[in-house]
């Protein structure tokens, strides 16, 4: 029996003239996701992409990987059958025999896209249903809540049999909305922020600020681990690591204590902004929330983002911590994020941070520093690493 994976397009179906560009991008991403699983042939028709294996491979693994690719509304592993009803009946009984034997109730669902096929949907349901009842006498029909749903899709190239599709990752293909730079701290929020923007089609370039010896090698490896957890969703990622030690030490030495975090975040934003420009990114992405920590009040967000002329996307800004954690668990970044290795954000925390900062006060606080030189130096010393 030949099997393949059917992938139903999501919002792409709505895009008019751009549709084939989106679809091509989606196929490219699907192909990349299956790297190492086996050789696949991809073809498309009518809001559906077909991924057909050209060799023996682990199809369950293939489905698992494809279920994380954005732009797919639903996907299913299905059996290819010739568009001959006798064949369809025979294969249905065999392909789903295990499920049908263990079930007590079933229903048949038919989708008939090929109008040339002799039976219409309701005829398919009735006759296939009758055939299966004969083959599995213990079964009863339950149209509302069946144990097994036998689905027949009669399409252009062939008929496809399966036991019901599963939801895909949703969203639109990564790369179709441009590129943005994600500030990846190693905490719980920033990987979730990256995931959410990738879902809207944005290709992520990540930037991380390291301050050895105040931060450790393990903290950096933790961030590498997070990138690896994100690539199944975000595709290939580049991680830029910025040497931030000198800036943190300067801030500590020359700025008033209550402004440490704010000044630090302004530097981070500015450096990220420069790197974004160098890397063709049209926006920054952060895991900033409102109300979670002292530096994240509206006034503080205004001060830290003031220097930038590209948009700052903050997708988790309206979410409760619990909601963010739920997503983090779902995309498997939570356990890595909570490993206890200090990142630069917590190295020099002020005892009484300014929660309602005024921009002119923040600017005064950082006046003693040679901003331009420090930023240029940090950008220059930035190193790069790929994850796929």
Partner 1 sequence: MAEVYLDNCATTKTDRHAAQIALELMERDYGNPSSLHKKGLEAQLRLDRARSQVAAAIGCGAGEIVFTSGGTEANNLALLGGAEARRRRGTAIVAMSTEHSSVLEPLRHLEAQGFRLRLVPPLPSGEVDADAFVDAVDADTILAACMLVNSEVGVIAPIAELARRCRRKSPGLLFHCDGVQALGKTAFSVQSLGVDTLSVSGHKLHAPKGVGALYVKKGVRLLPLLYGGGQQRGLRPGTENTPLACAFGYAAEKAAGEQGRNAERVAGLYEYFVNKSGKLPGVCMNSPATATPYICNLSAPGYRSETMLHFLEQQEIYVSNGSACSRGAKSHVLTAMGLAPGRIDSALRVSFTAENTTGEIDLFFEVLAQGMERLVRSRVG
Instruction: Catalog residues that contact partner 1 under the rule CB under 8 A.
Output: 212-217, 248-249, 252-253, 257, 340, 342, 348, 351
Cβ distance to partner 1 smaller for residue 16 or 340: 340
Cβ distance to partner 1 smaller for residue 145 or 351: 351
Cβ distance to partner 1 smaller for residue 332 or 342: 342
Cβ distance to partner 1 smaller for residue 61 or 249: 249
For residues 368 and 307, give the distance between their C-alpha atoms in angstroms, rounded to a whole number: 17
For residues 33 and 337, give the distance between their C-alpha atoms in angstroms, rounded to a whole number: 24
Q: Considering the complex, what minimum distance in angstroms separates the CB of residue 379 from partner 1?
A: 22
Q: Considering the complex, what minimum distance in angstroms separates the CB of residue 252 from partner 1?
A: 4
Q: Considering the complex, what minimum distance in angstroms separates the CB of residue 287 from partner 1?
A: 24
Closest Cα partner for 131 from 188, 170, 84, 90? 90
Contacts of 282 (CB under 8 A, 6+ apart): 178, 179, 180, 276, 310, 311
Burial readout 86-110 (b: 16 or more C-beta within 10 A, e: otherwise): eebbebbbebbeeebeebeebbbbb
Q: Considering the complex, what minimum distance in angstroms separates the CB of residue 254 from partner 1?
A: 11
Q: Considering the complex, what minimum distance in angstroms separates the CB of residue 249 from partner 1?
A: 5
For residues 99 and 329, give the distance between their C-alpha atoms in angstroms, rounded to a whole number: 30
Cβ distance to partner 1 smaller for residue 215 or 289: 215
Q: Considering the complex, what minimum distance in angstroms separates the CB of residue 361 from partner 1?
A: 21
Cβ distance to partner 1 smaller for residue 195 or 214: 214
Q: Considering the complex, what minimum distance in angstroms separates the CB of residue 219 from partner 1?
A: 10
Q: Interior CA angle at 303 toward 216 and 209, to 5°?
A: 15
Closest Cα partner for 81 from 72, 73, 91? 91
Token couple for 338: 């909570």
CB of 109 closer than 8 Å to CB of 150: yes
Q: How many CB atoms lie within 10 A of CB 338?
A: 13
Cβ distance to partner 1 smaller for residue 25 or 247: 247
State the sign of the Cα–Cα–Cα–Cα dihedral 306, 307, 310, 314. Answer: negative
């Amino acid at each position: 029996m030949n099997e393949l994976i059917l992938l139903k397009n999501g919002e792409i179906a709505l895009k008019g003239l751009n549709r084939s560009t989106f679809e091509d991008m989606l196929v490219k991403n699907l192909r990349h996701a299956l790297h190492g699983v086996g050789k696949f042939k991809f073809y498309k028709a009518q809001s559906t992409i077909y991924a057909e294996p050209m060799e023996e491979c682990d199809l369950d693994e293939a489905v698992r990987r494809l279920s994380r690719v954005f732009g797919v509304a639903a996907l299913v592993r299905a059996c290819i059958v010739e568009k001959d009803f006798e064949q369809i009946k025979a294969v249905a009984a065999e392909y789903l025999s295990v499920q049908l034997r263990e079930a007590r109730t079933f229903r048949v669902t038919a989708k008939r896209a090929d109008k040339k096929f002799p039976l219409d949907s309701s005829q398919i349901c009735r006759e296939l249903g009758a055939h299966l009842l004969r083959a599995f006498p213990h079964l009863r029909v339950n149209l509302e809540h069946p144990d097994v749903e036998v689905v027949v899709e009669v399409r252009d190239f062939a008929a496809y049999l399966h036991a019901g599709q599963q939801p895909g990752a949703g969203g639109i293909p990564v790369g179709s909305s441009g590129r943005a730079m994600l500030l990846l701290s190693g905490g719980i929020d920033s990987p979730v922020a990256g995931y959410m923007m990738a879902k809207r089609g944005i290709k992520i370039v990540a930037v991380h600020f390291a301050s050895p010896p105040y931060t450790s090698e393990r903290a950096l490896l933790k961030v590498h681990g997070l990138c690896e957890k994100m690539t199944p969703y975000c595709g290939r990622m580049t991680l830029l690591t910025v040497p931030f030690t000198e800036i943190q030490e300067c801030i500590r030495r020359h700025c008033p204590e209550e402004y440490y975090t704010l000044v630090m975040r302004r530097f981070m934003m500015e450096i990220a902004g420069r790197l974004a420009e160098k890397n063709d990114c049209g926006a920054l992405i952060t895991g900033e929330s409102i109300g979670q920590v002292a530096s994240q009040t509206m006034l503080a967000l205004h001060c830290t983002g003031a220097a930038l002329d590209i948009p700052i996307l903050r997708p988790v800004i309206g979410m409760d911590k619990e909601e963010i954690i739920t997503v983090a668990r779902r995309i498997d970044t939570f356990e890595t994020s909570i490993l206890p290795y200090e990142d630069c954000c917590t190295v020099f925390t002020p005892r009484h941070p300014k929660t309602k900062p005024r921009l002119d006060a923040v600017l005064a606080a950082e006046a003693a520093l040679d901003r331009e030189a420090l930023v240029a130096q940090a950008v220059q010393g930035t190193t790069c690493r790929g994850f796929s």
